[in-house]
């Protein structure tokens, strides 16, 4: 089955840029979705189809996808961005094609 690899943690100071990676075999051929999950809350979709933002998500959130790595970028990080971030794709080799990454915890210093 298809595997998505995310680093366990990222730390960044306020107003700096946070970068989250999601590694997968030839992931650039897939549509990648990103979710933000704050402590005690449900996940929220922040980027879909590599680089589109749902209504209500700030422009500070952006995504890209190339080669074997998809990337979520948060510019001008705020304390309220502290959360876990998960990537997700659909892959024909996985159970019902759904794959989630293990998530990356963002700590705002």
Partner 1 sequence: QLQLQQSGPGLVKPSQNLSLTCTISGDSVANSDVVWNWIRQSPSRGLEWLGRTYYRSKWHTDYAVSVQGRITITTDTSKNQFSLQLDSVTPEDTGLYYCARRNTFMHDSFDVWGPGTPVTISS
**Residue ranges that bind partner 1, judged by CB under 8 A:** 31, 33, 35, 41-45, 48-49, 52, 54, 86, 88, 90, 95-96, 98, 100, 102-103
Comparing CB distances to partner 1, the nearer of 49 and 78 is 49
- Asked if residue 59 lies in contact with residue 47, where contact means CB atoms within 8 angstroms, the answer is no
C-alpha radius of gyration, the chain, whole number: 13
CB of 38 to partner 1, least distance (A): 12
3 state SS of 80? helix
Least separation in angstroms between residue 14's CB and partner 1 is: 27
Angle at 18 between CA 16 and CA 21, to 5 degrees: 160
Q: Which is nearer to partner 1, 35 or 61 (CB)?
A: 35
Nearer residue to partner 1 within complex by CB, 33 or 74: 33
Closest approach of partner 1 to the CB of residue 9, in Å: 15
Closest approach, Cβ 51 to partner 1, in A, equals 11
Task: Report in angstroms the alpha-carbon separations of 33 from 7, 54, 79, 94.
Answer: 16, 11, 23, 16
């Amino acid at each position: 089955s298809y595997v998505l690899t995310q680093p366990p943690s990222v730390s960044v100071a306020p107003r700096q840029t946070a970068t989250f990676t999601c590694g997968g075999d030839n992931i650039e051929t897939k549509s990648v979705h990103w979710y933000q999950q704050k402590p005690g809350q449900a996940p929220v979709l922040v980027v879909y189809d590599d680089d589109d933002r749902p209504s209500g998500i700030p422009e500070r959130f952006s995504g890209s996808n190339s080669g074997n790595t998809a990337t979520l970028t948060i510019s001008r990080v705020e304390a309220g961005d502290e959360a876990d971030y998960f990537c997700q794709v659909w892959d024909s080799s996985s159970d019902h094609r759904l794959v989630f990454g293990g998530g990356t915890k963002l700590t705002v210093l």
